[in-house]
Amino acid sequence: MPMLLLSLLLLAQPRPALASEDSANARAEAAGQRAHFVREFCGESAQDVEQYKEKLRTIFAEASQFDSRWQAGWRRGDSDAIQMRSLQLNSPPEFAARVKSNCERIKWQADNSLRARPPR
């Protein structure tokens, strides 16, 4: 009986590889959402977005669901774009301020995500 309990406790412990995989998948999804925004509002070309995606695919090597999570983020970006278009119609000055701020923030996040990190 104690061996069974020990086995169950060990199974309940998070595995570092799984945590890393989950993190990479989540980061791929967030990147897809941000990429949609920069494509819509920041003047980035489809080619630039595709190149960024391919660089991230290499960096997020642990992401077992990279493409599907990227697409999920991109689809979430659709609702963001609808909200921004509404803001553009109803409050052009606020729209312009948000786009400027968001584009600057996303550019910083994108550059930061491409920086080499030391292995853990």
**31 part of a folded domain:** yes
Interior CA angle at 77 toward 74 and 79, to 5°? Answer: 135
For residues 111 and 44, give the distance between their C-alpha atoms in angstroms, rounded to a whole number: 14
Number of domain units in the chain: 1
pLDDT in tens, 34-61: 999 999 999 999 999 999 999 989 988 8
**9 part of a folded domain:** no
Helices (H), 13-91: 16-41, 46-59, 66-90
Which range of residues forms the domain containing residue 39? Answer: 20-114
**84 part of a folded domain:** yes
**6 part of a folded domain:** no
Q: So what's the pLDDT on residue 74?
A: 95
| pLDDT higher than 70, residue 5 | no
| pLDDT higher than 50, residue 78 | yes
Nearest to 114 by CA among 72, 26, 53, 70: 53
**14 part of a folded domain:** no
Task: Give me the chain's average pLDDT, please.
Answer: 83
Q: So what's the pLDDT on residue 117?
A: 57
Binning pLDDT at 50, 70 and 90, where does residue 114 land? confident
Q: So what's the pLDDT on residue 36?
A: 94
